[in-house]
């Protein structure tokens, strides 16, 4: 036996016939490029199997399922407070600064109103004081001025004090009179000045005190308004409402916890399972596939602190990729994949991995020549788990000894373009986040319930009569107020007759009292004439409060709840978060006559791929239980018909379900191959192709995903290629 030719047989552990089929698109393991140390031993009469070395494509890649989502911002209330109502709803467009929701501010509103009233009253009292003081200053200031003028004139006309009479100096009579007048008017001037000083000092002190009190009151008012502002949630961007925590009036809003999300639909981005920055940086190629089209993307990195915060908040972190192209053609909610190609080789000579042995640091294969196996040292490169690249030592057309030949059935299939998708089938329930409570409209008089004209789940129009009522007027109170009005009018006439200027303040006060009485009497008469309760909006009757005929209705008693039909939704249970903003839904239900009906709608909330769990809708599904899901916007006409199909006796609990179907994970215009044409090894996908010599070999490709029946191709195969089935 020649030393350069040794007949040996390959002894390897796992045969290719044990390969199993797995779901594509779920991720692929990275495989080392160097084979392990495998010793090939002397064959003992075993038939030789070989595979011809031909150029192949090798891939080390992983595919991540993803969604097209808008750029999103989430908003939380600054301090814990009781929720009152929404001001924007999923699917609605909002502008920057728009109010999203507000808490119950009844208490702070009363405080603001009281503070504003006290500020106005204090200002009015101060102005009255200033006016009165200035009026009081008019006389002493006038006297001060006049007396000072006389004093100045006397000083200018001062006569000689002495005259010589019989050789002696005596006080002249003119000087004595001047001195008397001077002292008189100087004293009067001093007295007037003192009165002015006293009044002016009092005014100065009053003004300083008022300014201090006014500044303090304004500061208190500012703080109250700031507290109210903290009870109002506003949007920091323009966009559409894409997430909302479903709340009822009176629910407690926790501080700093997001309750609403706004998305900019003009800025689509791709969200997928977390991919580290290192993985992206070290990859040979990273791109997205949407609708069968490739898009270049940019990875959005995050700090460790941000990662930890998101993980703590959501329990799971997702990665974001920005599309580096005009994305106008991309629909929100579209299914996408992120393809991370760690390494790939195209058109390289590759042989079955089990054909490569290694001993004493040398890799080798056995080539089949003239029916014998020839030991051949080789230099290896990349391996994809089934095939190993041969850099040197083997050439195209060489027959490489392998443990087992690849076999396939006689049937074939061609690679063709098509579409794959998955259908979501779920249960939906009507939900009404916006509504108006209809209460007893009568304030004055005694109100009795006469007749209910609508039923629960009935669609009504604005102004439509919901119930008949009867009001018994309080004639005694009305007559008393009318007599009081007559007396006030008479007193006003008397004041005007006595002089409008002299009685200006009293007249203004009396006119205010008269206006209030006139308004009160008009309201009383209007209440006494009420016979109907009407709907304030177009909507659905979602609650009916039961009253017996001719039963007494208290003031502000609840009668009906009318939910806004334009802001009503179909809630769909979706604990796995398969539905997202933009998905189109088909809804099936039966009408009143038990006839099958269809409606359509659009999902208007994002799932946890794009937003935190706080703003993913959750609704009650029964006693003490809730479900996570999505909101579907349906036309008001369909909402009304669906609500009307609900059978009810106006009981406190009624919930009718609707069948919902949504096409998800749809990828169009892609190469599609049947599942039974695909073999998966170590997380990588392969198909079997027949060479011109009739030999069957594996061919690697990157599978984008599967719908259970078919795989679709992200990279590696071409249209029209013929594949062998199992």
| CA atoms of 577 and 572, how far apart (whole Å) | 11
Given a contact cutoff of 8 angstroms between Cβ atoms, the answer to whether 419 and 666 are in contact is yes
Query: At which residue do the structure tokens 């003009």 appear?
Result: 266
pLDDT the model gives residue 610: 92
Query: Which band of pLDDT confidence, cut at 50, 70 and 90, is reported for residue 230?
Result: confident
- DSSP symbol at 53: -
| CA atoms of 180 and 81, how far apart (whole Å) | 79
Within-domain flag for 294: no
Token code pair at residue 170: 């005596």
Domain that residue 521 falls in: 441-538+545-558
Query: Which band of pLDDT confidence, cut at 50, 70 and 90, is reported for residue 622?
Result: low
Query: Which band of pLDDT confidence, cut at 50, 70 and 90, is reported for residue 395?
Result: very high
55-69, 368-382, 544-558, 614-628: range with lowest mean pLDDT: 614-628
| CA atoms of 708 and 149, how far apart (whole Å) | 112
pLDDT the model gives residue 310: 80
Query: Which band of pLDDT confidence, cut at 50, 70 and 90, is reported for residue 32?
Result: very low
Query: Which band of pLDDT confidence, cut at 50, 70 and 90, is reported for residue 250?
Result: confident
pLDDT the model gives residue 146: 95
Has residue 650 got a pLDDT over 70? no
User: What mean pLDDT is predicted for residues 47-54?
Assistant: 82
User: What mean pLDDT is predicted for residues 133-156?
Assistant: 94
Higher pLDDT, 329 or 13: 329
DSSP string spanning 116-157?
HHHHHHHHHHHHHHHHHHHHHHHHHHHHHHHHHHHHHHHHHT
pLDDT the model gives residue 66: 95
Q: Which of 685, 671, 719, 698 is nearest to 60 (CA)?
A: 685
CA 193 to chain centre: 71
Instruction: Please state whether beta strands 387-392 and 335-352 pair in parallel, antiparallel, or not at all (unpaired).
Output: antiparallel
Q: Rounded mean pLDDT of the chain? A: 88
Q: Which of 125, 134, 144 is nearest to 203 (CA)?
A: 134
pLDDT the model gives residue 39: 52
Query: Which band of pLDDT confidence, cut at 50, 70 and 90, is reported for residue 507?
Result: very high
Higher pLDDT, 47 or 400: 400
Q: Which of 433, 79, 75, 74 is nearest to 231 (CA)?
A: 79
Has residue 221 got a pLDDT over 80? yes
Note the helical H segments in 597-635.
none
Higher pLDDT, 261 or 25: 261
pLDDT the model gives residue 26: 31
Kindly state the helix (H) or strand (E) to which residue 478 belongs, with its residue range: helix 475-498
pLDDT the model gives residue 48: 66
Has residue 568 got a pLDDT over 70? yes
| CA atoms of 690 and 675, how far apart (whole Å) | 18
Query: Which band of pLDDT confidence, cut at 50, 70 and 90, is reported for residue 303?
Result: confident
| CA atoms of 19 and 412, how far apart (whole Å) | 19
- DSSP symbol at 64: E
Has residue 13 got a pLDDT over 50? no
Query: Which band of pLDDT confidence, cut at 50, 70 and 90, is reported for residue 38?
Result: very low
Q: Which of 715, 541, 503 is nearest to 643 (CA)?
A: 541
Given a contact cutoff of 8 angstroms between Cβ atoms, the answer to whether 679 and 667 are in contact is no
Given a contact cutoff of 8 angstroms between Cβ atoms, the answer to whether 108 and 224 are in contact is yes
What percent of the chain has pLDDT above 70?
91
Strands (E), 353-415: 357-359, 362-369, 372-383, 387-392, 399-402, 412-414
Strands (E), 92-234: 93-94, 99-103, 162-165, 168-171, 232-234
Q: Which of 14, 620, 612 is nearest to 315 (CA)?
A: 612
Task: Classify the C-alpha dihedral 561-565-566-572 as positive or negative.
Answer: positive
Within-domain flag for 10: no
Query: Which band of pLDDT confidence, cut at 50, 70 and 90, is reported for residue 43?
Result: very low
Query: Residue 162, exposed/middle/buried by CB under 10 A (0-12, 13-18, 19+)?
Result: exposed
Within-domain flag for 489: yes
How many angstroms separate the Cα of 258 from the Cα of each of 17, 237, 465, 614, 615? 54, 15, 40, 6, 6
pLDDT the model gives residue 642: 87
| CA atoms of 196 and 207, how far apart (whole Å) | 16
Token code pair at residue 323: 């599309």
Phi, psi of 208, deg, nearest 5: -65, -45
| CA atoms of 642 and 630, how far apart (whole Å) | 18
- DSSP symbol at 556: T
Given a contact cutoff of 8 angstroms between Cβ atoms, the answer to whether 428 and 513 are in contact is no
User: What mean pLDDT is predicted for residues 9-35?
Assistant: 32
Q: Which of 559, 579, 535, 539 is nearest to 433 (CA)?
A: 539
pLDDT the model gives residue 624: 66
| CA atoms of 589 and 357, how far apart (whole Å) | 65
CA 584 to chain centre: 20
Has residue 16 got a pLDDT over 50? no
Query: Residue 34, exposed/middle/buried by CB under 10 A (0-12, 13-18, 19+)?
Result: middle
Query: Residue 571, exposed/middle/buried by CB under 10 A (0-12, 13-18, 19+)?
Result: buried
Has residue 648 got a pLDDT over 70? no
Has residue 17 got a pLDDT over 90? no
Within-domain flag for 138: yes
Neighbour-count burial for 230-248, b at 16+ CB within 10 Å, e otherwise: bbbbbbebebbbbbbbbbe
pLDDT digits (tens, 9 = 90+) for 454-463: 998 889 999 9
Angle CA 446–449–454, to nearest 5 = 145
| CA atoms of 54 and 48, how far apart (whole Å) | 19
pLDDT the model gives residue 36: 45
| CA atoms of 1 and 679, how far apart (whole Å) | 41
pLDDT digits (tens, 9 = 90+) for 572-590: 999 899 999 999 999 998 8
Instruction: Tell me if residue 412 falls in helix, strand or coil.
Output: strand
pLDDT the model gives residue 42: 44
pLDDT digits (tens, 9 = 90+) for 79-102: 888 999 999 999 999 999 999 999
Domain boundary residue among 208, 229, 250? 229
Within-domain flag for 528: yes
Q: Which of 265, 407, 394 is nearest to 327 (CA)?
A: 265
Given a contact cutoff of 8 angstroms between Cβ atoms, the answer to whether 645 and 595 are in contact is no
Within-domain flag for 17: no
Within-domain flag for 171: yes
Domain boundary residue among 210, 229, 248? 229
Has residue 515 got a pLDDT over 50? yes
Q: How many structural domains does the chain have?
A: 2
Token code pair at residue 68: 């097209």
Contacts of 520 (CB under 8 A, 6+ apart): 481
Token code pair at residue 332: 């929100």
Strands (E), 38-94: 49-52, 54-76, 81-86, 93-94
Q: CA gyration radius for the chain?
A: 46
Domain boundary residue among 229, 258, 292? 229
User: What mean pLDDT is predicted for residues 39-60?
Assistant: 72
Contacts of 351 (CB under 8 A, 6+ apart): 51, 53, 365, 387, 388, 390, 394, 400, 402
pLDDT digits (tens, 9 = 90+) for 438-452: 999 999 999 999 999
DSSP 3-state helix, strand, coil percentages of the chain (rounded to 5)?
25, 40, 35
CATH number of the domain where residue 150 is located: 1.10.287.370
- Give the range with max mean pLDDT: 6-10, 378-382, 426-430: 378-382
Within-domain flag for 185: yes
């Amino acid at each position: 036996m020649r030393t350069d030719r040794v007949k040996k047989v390959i002894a390897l552990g796992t045969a290719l016939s044990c390969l199993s089929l797995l779901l594509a698109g779920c991720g692929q393991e990275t495989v080392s490029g160097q084979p392990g140390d495998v010793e090939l031993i002397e064959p003992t009469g075993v038939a030789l199997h070989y595979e011809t070395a031909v150029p192949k494509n090798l891939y080390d890649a992983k595919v991540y399922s993803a969604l097209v989502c808008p750029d999103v911002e989430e908003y939380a209330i600054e301090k814990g407070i009781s929720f009152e109502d929404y001001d924007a709803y999923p699917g609605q467009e909002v502008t920057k600064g728009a109010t999203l929701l507000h808490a119950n501010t009844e208490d702070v509103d009363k405080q603001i109103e009281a503070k504003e009233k006290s500020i106005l009253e204090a200002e009015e009292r101060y102005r009255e004081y200033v006016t009165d003081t200035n009026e009081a200053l008019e006389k002493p200031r006038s006297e001060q001025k006049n007396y000072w003028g006389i004093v100045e004139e006397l000083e200018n006309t001062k006569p000689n004090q002495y005259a010589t009479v019989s050789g002696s100096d005596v006080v002249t009579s003119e000087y004595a009179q001047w001195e008397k007048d001077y002292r008189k008017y100087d004293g009067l001037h001093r007295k007037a000045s003192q009165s002015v000083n006293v009044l002016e000092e009092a005014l100065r002190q009053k003004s300083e005190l008022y300014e201090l009190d006014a500044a303090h009151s304004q500061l208190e008012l500012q703080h109250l308004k700031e507290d109210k502002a903290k009870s109002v949630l506003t949007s920091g961007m323009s966009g559409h409402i894409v997430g909302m925590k479903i709340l009822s009036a009176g629910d407690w809003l926790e501080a700093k916890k997001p309750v609403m999300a706004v998305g900019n639909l003009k800025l689509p981005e791709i969200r997928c399972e977390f991919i580290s920055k290192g993985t992206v940086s070290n990859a040979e190629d990273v791109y997205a596939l949407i609708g069968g089209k490739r898009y270049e993307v940019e990875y959005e990195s995050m700090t460790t602190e941000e990662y930890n915060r998101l993980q703590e908040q959501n329990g799971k972190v997702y990665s974001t990729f920005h599309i580096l192209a005009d994305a106008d053609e991309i629909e929100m909610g579209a299914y996408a994949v992120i393809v991370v190609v760690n390494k790939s080789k195209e058109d390289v000579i590759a042989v079955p991995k089990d054909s490569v042995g290694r001993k004493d640091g040398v890799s080798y294969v056995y080539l089949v020549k003239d029916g014998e196996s020839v030991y051949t040292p080789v230099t290896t490169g990349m391996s994809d788990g089934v095939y190993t690249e041969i850099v040197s030592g083997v050439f195209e057309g060489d027959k490489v000894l392998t443990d087992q030949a690849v076999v396939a059935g006689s049937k074939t299939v061609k690679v063709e373009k098509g579409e794959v998708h998955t259908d979501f089938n779920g249960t939906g329930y009507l939900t009404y986040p916006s509504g108006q409570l209809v209460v007893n409209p009568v304030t004055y008089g005694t109100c009795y319930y006469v007749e209910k004209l609508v039923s629960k789940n009935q669609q009504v129009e604005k102004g439509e009569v919901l119930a008949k009522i009867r009001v018994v007027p309080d004639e005694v109170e009305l007559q008393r107020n009318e007599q009081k009005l007559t007396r006030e009018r008479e007193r006003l006439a008397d004041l005007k007759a006595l002089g409008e200027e002299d009685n200006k303040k009293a007249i203004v006060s009396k006119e205010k009292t008269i206006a209030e009485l006139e308004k009160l009497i008009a309201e009383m008469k209007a209440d006494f004439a009420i016979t109907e309760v009407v709907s304030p909006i177009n909507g659905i009757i979602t609650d009916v409060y039961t009253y017996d005929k001719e039963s007494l209705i208290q003031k502000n008693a609840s009668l009906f709840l009318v939910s806004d039909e334009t802001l009503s939704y179909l809630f769909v249970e979706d604990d796995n978060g398969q539905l997202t903003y933009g998905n189109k839904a088909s809804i099936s239900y039966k009408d009143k006559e038990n006839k099958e009906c269809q409606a359509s709608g659009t999902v208007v909330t994002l799932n946890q791929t794009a937003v935190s769990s706080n703003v993913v809708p959750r609704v009650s599904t029964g006693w003490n239980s809730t479900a996570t899901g999505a909101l579907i916007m349906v036309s008001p006409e369909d909402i009304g018909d669906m609500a009307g199909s609900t059978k009810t006796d106006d009981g406190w609990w009624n919930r009718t379900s609707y069948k919902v179907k949504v096409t998800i994970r749809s990828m169009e215009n892609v190469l599609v191959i049947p599942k039974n044409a695909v073999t998966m090894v170590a997380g990588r996908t392969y198909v079997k192709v027949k060479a011109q010599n009739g030999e069957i070999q594996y061919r690697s490709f990157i599978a984008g995903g599967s719908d259970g029946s078919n795989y679709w191709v992200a990279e590696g195969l071409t249209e029209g290629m013929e594949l062998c089935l199992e």
